[in-house]
């Protein structure tokens, strides 16, 4: 097995350093070693395709044939979020969105480092230098929302932003002390300012609200999301 030595080394050193070295070595495989490793992985996946993770890897291999990033889901938590569920990832955490529709809120960022599943260049040393190799259980990533007037508030563990989802609200009054973005998820959203200005968003549309607005009201028969601070 072309990667058995890498696996055995990691098994003998299951620490942050061991995970970092294994991650870097796997993504650095090239040529025949990479081809043999990926083919071996896919052969195993086809033998165990009744298991969701291996079925997922087969699907990904059809989109990204021969990609060494097919090994990465084996090193990450694979989660299926249900409607209304959310998760938080700190900076320097590799992640990928496989399928489905979700809303992503990011803090200010000016870079993307690729970790596989892409035809584009991967700078593995730079990726490793900017990745935290702290293991977390899947259930530690989920955010349990708090009930608030009109909806759900997701407790983000960093000060960069806040996120809430409101459902079936009738002209709810909202205060804002920062710039905000509202997104109509599944139904029209009507936003009204005290100066009399009104904007109606159709499903899938968003609106920017400046900090100086101070307050506004929102009416929606469905759900809308709010990103603010």
- The residues that are catalytic are 114
Evaluate the CA torsion angle 63, 68, 71, 75 in order and state its sign. negative
| Cβ-contact 166, 151 below 8 angstroms | yes
For residue 87, how far is the Cα from the chain centroid? 8
The Cα 229–Cα 226 span in angstroms is: 10
By CB neighbour count within 10 A (0-12 exposed, 13-18 middle, 19+ buried), where does 117 fall?
Answer: middle
Cα–Cα distance measured from residue 183 to residue 117, given in angstroms and rounded to the nearest whole number: 29
Place of tokens 């959310």: 86
For residue 133, the Cα-to-chain-centroid distance in whole angstroms is 17
Specify whether the CB–CB gap between 190 and 218 falls below 8 A: yes
Give Cβ neighbours of residue 59 (< 8 Å, ≥ 6 apart): none
Instruction: List, in sequence order, every beta strand (DSSP E) within 34-150.
Output: 86-87, 142-143, 146-148
């Amino acid at each position: 097995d072309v990667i058995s030595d890498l696996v055995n080394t990691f098994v003998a050193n299951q620490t942050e350093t061991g995970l970092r070295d294994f991650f870097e070595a796997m993504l650095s495989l090239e040529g025949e070693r990479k081809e043999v490793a990926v083919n071996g992985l896919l052969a195993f996946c086809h033998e165990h395709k009744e298991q969701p993770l291996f079925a997922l890897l087969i699907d990904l291999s059809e989109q990204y044939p021969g990609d060494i990033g097919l090994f990465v889901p084996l090193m990450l938590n694979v989660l299926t979020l249900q409607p209304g569920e959310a998760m938080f990832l700190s900076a320097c955490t590799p992640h990928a969105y496989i399928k489905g529709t979700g809303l992503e809120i990011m803090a200010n960022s000016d870079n993307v480092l690729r970790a596989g599943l892409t035809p584009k260049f991967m700078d593995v040393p730079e990726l490793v230098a900017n990745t935290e190799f702290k293991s977390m259980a899947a259930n530690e990533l989920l955010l349990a929302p708090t009930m608030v007037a009109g909806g759900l508030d997701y407790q983000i563990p960093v000060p960069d932003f806040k996120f809430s989802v409101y459902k079936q609200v009738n002209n709810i009054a909202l205060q804002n002390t920062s710039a905000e973005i509202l997104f109509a998820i599944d139904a029209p959203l009507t936003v009204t300012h005290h100066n009399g200005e009104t904007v109606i968003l159709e499903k899938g549309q968003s609106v920017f609200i400046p900090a100086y607005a101070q307050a506004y009201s929102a009416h929606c028969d469905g759900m809308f999301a709010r990103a603010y601070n």
